[in-house]
Structure 1
Amino acid sequence: MKRCLTGLLLVLTLLAFATTGWAATTITQNVPYLTDVQDHWAKPAVEKVYALGLDKGFADGTFRPNQNVQCLEVITTLLKSVGYQEQVAKQKRAKNTTPAYPVPRDQNYVDFAVAQQFIPSTMLNNFKYDRPVNRGELAALLTKTLYLMPPDNAKSFTDTYNLPADYLAAIQAVSHQGIMSGYQDGSFRPQALVSRGELAAILSKLYDQGWVRMDAKKKIDGWVAGVVQGKKGLEVEISSLKGNRKIPVSENCQVYYLGQRMDIRQAVNYRMAGILDDKRQLSYVELLERRTFSPVQRDVYGSFLRLAEGEPLVFTVKDLLCQEVDYPVAWDAVITNEKSKSKSNKDLLKKIKADQFLKLGVTSGGTVQEITILDVKSITGEISRLDRALYLKDKKSNSKKYVPDHFYGWDAGRIVDKEGEEISGVSAGDKVKITYIGEPFYERVLEIQKLN
């Protein structure tokens, strides 16, 4: 009898878990992939948050995008998504005390949200972990969790004039931030319940805006150089300034361009932002733009000063006129190291050191399309005379290796003192260090440094 009761209890527990509004954490390999979102308006967002691991749907392979979001679900999903896990783990409650707002799971997340005053008053006054959440409450929760402020020139909605001040401010804040929006009739509908599909769309926006915290190794960007058939399936060749990578493609990988589905094999020469799953397979791809193949119009020589990460990446160099110049770098730019003769097969950006000489291939629009780490040489000596060429005094050497003793076009390089500051010129008798590139008898002077 006990064995029967135990079995019945187990079955009931599993059934309750399978039918609850709470998303399952894993999906078995035999379960179909998101079977109920194929024709849903939130399909791209659902697939993105699924790939991110923010919401893995239910154990039967469904996502249930039209199902209302529950109170506990939205609190825990939001806090986990924006990176509060470590702080929640440190949350302590006195032993043998009953929580003020008991829930069947993730009690520490609710305790943390209450302590931080993230949960709006209406949710606490009528707190039930499984009750649905409306749009006004979600706006307030988002505003408090992300510490958003309403704008000075707030957008007005037709149905928010009689809301409490804090709710109105929250709606204005999330609307201004682009996280939640109103409807075409000018309303916000703060009392309307939030569906799981709507929450997925909001989480997708949070990710796009940089609010979602995730393992940086699961994010990948660059442009698609090729799609090839590997031993275990398709592989995508991704190129960027950080190097070339070949990534296996998940069987359920979803690819979108301007909101429309695309086959991964059509993604060649598109800029992409991708998400890797736990197996390091490409599981979601958003194509951002297509390569334009802008030709290089001119070459700029200079020494590297610094770079500014961002969109776009910006290189600052000291050119041969001793001026600091900023150049935006194209997302599909190619970087080459002359010594290794390689193109983007390693993270060459990290190898560029301060004052290292570069050649930048610049387009007509002023964007860098090519970066070459130059293989420079230098020679030190005393200037014997200056005319069309700069001549150095002969040095006695037993070496049979070619060493230049004169340089044509020497005045095209920059001329600096020992501290690297620009000076007006050099003359015969000066001891100098000459930095140059080029083949024997066709040297190009980059810099002449006066040493005395």
Structure 2
Amino acid sequence: MLKKSRFFISVVLIFLLLFSTTAYAKPQPKYSFDDIQQFTWAVKAIEKMYAKGFIKGVGDKKFNPSKPVTHLEALVMILRAMGYEEQANKITELPKEYKGPKLSWGKGFITLAYQKGILTYDELKRFNPNEKAKRYEIAKYLVRALGLENQAQQNMNKVLNYKDWDKIPKDAIGYMYVAVEKNLIKGDGEKLKPNDPVRRVEMAVLLERLDEKVQNNLNGRDVVATVYAIDNNTITVKVNGGLKTFNILKNVPVYNENEYVGIDYLKPGYQIRLILDFKNNIIFVEVLNNKSEEVIPIELKDVKNPPEKVSSAVEAIKNKPAVKLVEENGIYYVIATRGMMRTGGYIVNIQKAQIIKTSKDTILEVEVKYIDPSPDAIVTQAITYPYDIKSFTYDGKITQISVKTDKNINVSVDIDLASDVK
């Protein structure tokens, strides 16, 4: 009997352990490269810059994070982040001032860097594309890429509280000063290590900081939006006042700051950055704010016998396309009109709505569909004023209305609330 009890207890403990592990286990990252897992402070930057096409792997799912970048590699990455890759690829000749080794690739990037002022005349004459790039040299490239050359020159005598500040070459002090002040380069709290070669893993982080300054949206493939709805295969987001739906590629990396969180972490209302491939599939997601909005679904009900206040509101706006919110006796009424139509057959349908709460406003989002009669439809030959009314309950005050329609119609909005609505 004792043996059976022990066996039963063991089975229960195993099930509890399995359940707890399942319930609380974090998603396992699916990295783009097999050799970056240990660099937890830089993994997100590597994945993000790889998704944007600013950095590449070295083959066989390897990134080689500890390898120093060369001067040419650094210029290529920086020019990509600035959005100049296509322009550089069209250039096939090196500047006549270039005296370095012969190159099989990258000529256009060197030429463009010289034209853009990222490389100076004196630097170009002694430029060695295969030499390891030091931190102070990368600082020069970053500062010039951002058009901050004058600021660097004006701060050549500045001193910051780092133990190795005196190790910076005199002609680079202003660049390091600006790079630190602009949060492009950060030390370890005590040292900047200006003469250390920059490793590929560090370059990914520097590129991410540069990208934040440049805000290269990859011709529309870097999208900052708010999650509207999400399922296993797609994400619908609010962007520029409208809704867009994108496909999610399998194992897409999703990060909240430097933590891998997985696709299940996303919720409606989260502000996110999506990076898309050339087919508009999502290949990277970054959570920018998981507290910016609260999405409150509401249930719309048909209104057959509206109160007098609502009927009067319909009469007041029926001559134009409009959406009006009216509150009466604790119930909200949404009215959508189309304006005067010369025949029957036109339909207005308030399809759905939701409430978005931000730190400042409570916004009612309404989707309205306008239906026209088909060309061969038999319709009433009389002037009509199509409209729709829906009602819902909500214990709070709505401060704004946002309207989405399926047609290019200029819709006016208005709110008529009782003074005691909180």
TM-score by length of 1: 0.55
Equivalence map 1:6-155=2 (5 Å) = 33-41=32-40, 42-85=42-85, 88=88, 99-101=98-100, 102-119=102-119, 124=124, 126-148=126-148, 149-150=151-152, 155=160
Aligned residue in 1 for 2:211: 207
Change (3 A) 1:161 1:224: same
The whole-number CA distance in structure 1 between the counterparts of 2:349 and 2:261 is: 37
Partner of 2:225: 222
Residue identity in the other structure for 2:183: G
RMSD: 4.3
Aligned equivalents of 2:206, 2:255: Cα separation in 1: 18
Equivalent residue for 1:160, pick from 138, 158, 165: 165
How has the CA–CA distance of structure 1 residues 340 and 175 changed in structure 2, closer, same or farther, with 3 Å as cutoff? Answer: farther
Equivalence for 1:370: 364
Superimposed CA distance per residue, residues 262-311 of structure 1 (whole angstroms, 9 cap, x where no aligned partner):
1202212222111112332211111122355388xxxxxxxxxxxxxxxx
Matches within 5 A, 1:180-329: 180-185=185-190, 187-212=191-216, 214-216=218-220, 218-229=221-232, 234-240=233-239, 242-269=241-268, 270-291=270-291, 292-293=293-294
How has the CA–CA distance of structure 1 residues 177 and 61 changed in structure 2, closer, same or farther, with 3 Å as cutoff? same
Distance 2:81 2:59 in 1: 21
* Structure 1 portions without partners, runs of 5+: 1-31, 296-334, 346-360, 376-398, 403-435, 445-452
CA shift for structure 1 position 260: 1.2
Tell me if the contact between 2:90 and 2:108 (Cα under 8 Å) persists in the aligned partners: no
Deviation at 1:205, TM superposition (A): 1.6
Q: Determine if contact 2:51/2:283 at 8 Å carries over to the other structure.
A: yes
Tell me by how many angstroms 1:166 deviates: 3.4
Q: Is this contact kept in 2: 1:336–1:372, CA < 8 A? A: no
User: CA separation of 1:400/1:127 partners in 2, compared to 1, >3 Å: closer, same or farther?
Assistant: closer
> 1:157 Cα shift?
2.8
Q: Give the letter aligned to residue 194 of structure 1.
A: V
Contact 1:65–1:197 under 8 Å retained in 2: yes
Residue by residue over 1:360-416, the C-alpha shift from the partner in whole angstroms, topping out at 9 and shown as x without a partner, is: x997964352366999xxxxxxxxxxxxxxxxxxxxxxx8979xxxxxxxxxxxxxx
Q: State how far apart, in whole Å, the 1-side matches of 2:87 and 2:384 are.
A: 64
1:43-86: CA deviation from partner (whole Å, max 9, x where unpaired): 11000011111112122111111111011111122112202346
Secondary structure, aligned partner of 1:173: helix
Q: Report if the CA contact (8 A) 2:276-2:284 is conserved.
A: yes
Specify the code of the residue in structure 2 equivalent to 1:293: E
Partner SS for 1:268: coil
The secondary structure found in structure 2 opposite 1:197 is helix
- Contact (CA 8 Å) 2:94, 2:111: kept in 1 or not? no
| Counterparts of residues 166-177 of structure 1 (less than 5 Å) | 166-177=171-182
**TM-score normalized with structure 2 length:** 0.59
1:179 to 179, 184, 188: 184
Q: Displacement of 1:200 after TM fit?
A: 0.5
2-side partners of 1:437 and 1:81: how far apart?
41
How many Å separate the matches in 2 of 1:94 and 1:75? 14
- Checking the alignment, whether the CA contact within 8 Å between 1:34 and 1:63 is kept in structure 2 is yes
Question: Per the alignment, do residues 340 and 137 of structure 1 end up closer, same or farther by CA in structure 2, a change over 3 Å counting?
Answer: farther
- For residue 328 of structure 2, what is the aligned residue in structure 1? none
Q: CA separation of 1:54/1:252 partners in 2, compared to 1, >3 Å: closer, same or farther?
A: farther
1:161-196 Cα deviation digits (max 9, x unpaired): 3534431110111111111112222x2111011010
**Secondary structure of the residue that 2:171 maps to in structure 1?**
helix
How far, CA to CA, are the matches of 2:55 and 2:110 in structure 1?
Answer: 18
- What is the CA–CA distance in structure 1 between the aligned matches of 2:231 and 2:70, rounded to whole Å? 44
Separation in structure 2 between the aligned mates of residue 336 and residue 170 of structure 1, nearest angstrom: 60
- Describe the superposition over 1:3-45 as per-residue Cα deviations: whole angstroms up to 9, x where unpaired: xxxxxxxxxxxxxxxxxxxxxxxxxxxxx93111122131110
Q: Give the helix-richer structure, 1 or 2.
A: 2
Q: Distance in 2 between matches of 1:364 and 1:285?
A: 22
Q: Residue 341 in 1 paired to residue 361 in 2? A: no
Matched length: 298
Distance 1:223 1:94, change over 3 A: closer
Cα 1:191–1:214 shift into 2, 3 Å = same
Structure richer in strand, relative to its length: 1
Aligned to 2:409: none
Q: What fraction of aligned residue pairs are identical, expressed as a percent?
A: 20
- CA separation of 1:157/1:213 partners in 2, compared to 1, >3 Å: closer, same or farther? farther
